[in-house]
A and B are shown apart, each in its own frame.
Chain A
Amino acid sequence: MRDALLRSASVVALLLLWEVCARAHLVSDFLLPSFSVSLARLYHDIVAGDALLGIGLTLYRAFTGFALAAVGGVAIGILIARVPLMRWFLDPLVSVGLPMPKIAFLPIFVLWFGVFDEAKILMVAFSAIFPVIVAAAAAADGVDRTLLWSAQSLGAGRQALLWQIVLRAALPQIFTGLQVAMPIALIVAIIAEMQMGGEGLGGAIMQSMRFADSPGVFAGILAIAVVGAALVRGLEVLRRRLLVWHPEGER
Chain B
Amino acid sequence: MLIDVHAHFFPERSARADWREYNASRLRAGERIGITVHLNSVLGTFGRSSPTYFPSPADVTYGNEWAFGLQREQPRRVRTYVCVNPNYSDHALAEIERGRAAGAVGIKLAASRRATDPLLDPICAAAARHGLPILHHIWQHRRRDRPGQEASDAAELCHLAARHPTVHFILAHIGGGGDWLHSLAVVPRHWNVLVDLSGSGVDGGMLEACLAAVGAERLLWGTDMTMETGWAKLRYLERLLPPELLELIRWKNAARIFPPRSFPGD
A and B from one complex: no
B interface residues with partner A (beta carbon < 8 Å) = none
A: residues with CB less than 8 A from B are none
